[in-house]
Structure 1
Amino acid sequence: MSETKVYDASCHCGDVKYKVRLTFPPKPGYYDAETIRIYKCNCSTCHKLALFHLRPIHPADDFIVTCPTDIEELGSYSPYTGFAKFYFCKKCGTRTFGLGAYWEQVDLDVEKWAGNENSEGKVQKVWKSNPKDLEYEVDGKKESKTMHYVSVNAVTIEDGQGIDLREWHDKGWIFYVQNRDQTKGEDIRKREPHPSGMY
């Protein structure tokens, strides 16, 4: 039986706070559109940043940043093409989430957004994400597609909310993704990381 719930998350010092809506358990397929994705990637960026990816189903609707009020207060690192940025707290250094999208600040009743129908209607400014057009070249032709990438660092979800990261491994919910060597063939698997990856 699946359960959808909003989880609180933060950096170590608490200067960065966000909320993410997740539905557990995930469906079995990595490419299933209507499921959260839990994975560890062996590319040099994800490996060296020690990212434990947890991707919500609907990035625009299932993820908000409540603190800081100015997104420019976050540190960011943008490898390779610059499409995705990996954000971190400038004070404690915790990597909190990655985003390949546009930021938009909106006024939101956070309690109602989180599912509390008895909300008092208190509105606050939060940051949400919107899809971004990614331009690239194929055989000398320019092409574009709309992308919306949001991945939170699973280890930043607060304790005491019913999440046990050990359970994810024991139940085989974690996928291991091969992005370091594209010639290897098998790119997604469970139970064991690809070379240079981590458990």
Structure 2
Amino acid sequence: MTSPTRRPYTGSCHCGATRYIIFLTLPHTPAPVQPGQQRSPNGVQNFYRCNCTLCHKAGLLHVRPLSPTDDFLLLTPLDPYTEMGDYTVAGLPYPPSHWLFCKGCGMRCVSVRGAGGVVILDVDEAGLGPVADRLREAGLVGPEGKVTAWRPEKPDGDDGAWNGYLSINGYSLDAGQEGLDLREWKEKGWVLYLDLLELKGKGCAAEVQYERPQDGGAY
């Protein structure tokens, strides 16, 4: 059996205007379900599908990295809140979530909450070696071996886990990458299913589960 290894993976929208890197540790180790748990766990890598009307109608496979700041880089565009379409959803008592989408092809690659900024990183020092050829082919590596990217800031305070929310749409990960096979995510029981369908009303959510989708959801 392959040992869990953290490495970068590339993703993009259909037209290529949105490009990103996410670090994932695969094979995945699913977080155990706690008694009465109704939300996806924070502070761990997790993959899940949600039956709320937004996630379900958008066809999202949520991929949450261990650390939004350390494990995600948006390569293009570099100013997502102005250069991408932004469907903003109120998240009371938390800050609003930005469900960003490409203005060209309309694909949703990333949802984020909180501020971010542009960084310049050395390809090798940042651990991007496994995807370096893909980045060079896309013209994203400068002459000195640097890449410029936007990434979320590390949040502060007690609500840091929610203020620093970031989820990428797993269906936007580029195919053909080593160790990345979305079929095995379902086959090996790595996908968590949440019950946040608004029609049920507050306080009526079922406990999260790995076995099968919640009512109103889908595999």
Structure 2 length-normalised TM: 0.77
Contact 2:30 2:46 in 1 (8 A): no
CA change 1:185–1:46 in 2 (3 A) is closer
1:45 matched to which residue of 2?
54
Q: Give matches, 1:1-199, under 5 Å.
A: 1-29=3-31, 35-71=44-80, 72-81=82-91, 83-116=96-129, 121-132=144-155, 145-146=159-160, 147-162=163-178, 163-180=180-197, 181=200, 182-184=202-204, 186-199=206-219
Deviations 1:150-191 (A, max 9, x none): 111000010110311111100000000111234335331012
1: CA distance, partners of 2:52 / 2:205: 15
Structure 2: stretches of 5+ with no match in the other structure: 33-39, 133-140
Contact 1:23 1:35 in 2 (8 A): no
3-state SS of 1:112 partner: coil
Aligned residues: 190
2: CA distance, partners of 1:52 / 1:28: 15
Query: Which of 1 and 2 has higher RCO (CA within 8 Å, sep 6+)?
Result: 2
Q: Among all aligned residue pairs of Structure 1 and Structure 2, give the percentage whose two residues are the same amino acid.
A: 32
1: CA distance, partners of 2:15 / 2:41: 35
Contact 1:27 1:35 in 2 (8 A): no
1: CA distance, partners of 2:42 / 2:101: 27
Deviations 1:35-88 (A, max 9, x none): 420000111111121111001111100000011233221111111335211111
Contact 1:26 1:35 in 2 (8 A): no
Q: Give how far 1:6 is off.
A: 0.2
Structure 1: stretches of 5+ with no match in the other structure: 135-143
Q: Give how far 1:101 is off.
A: 1.8
Q: Give how far 1:5 is off.
A: 1.1
- Residues 159-168 or 106-115, more deviating: 106-115
C-alpha RMSD of the superposition = 2.5
Q: Give how far 1:132 is off.
A: 4.7
Q: Which amino acid aligns with 1:159?
A: A
Structure 1 length-normalised TM: 0.85
Q: Give how far 1:105 is off.
A: 1.1
As a proportion of its length, which structure holds more strand?
1
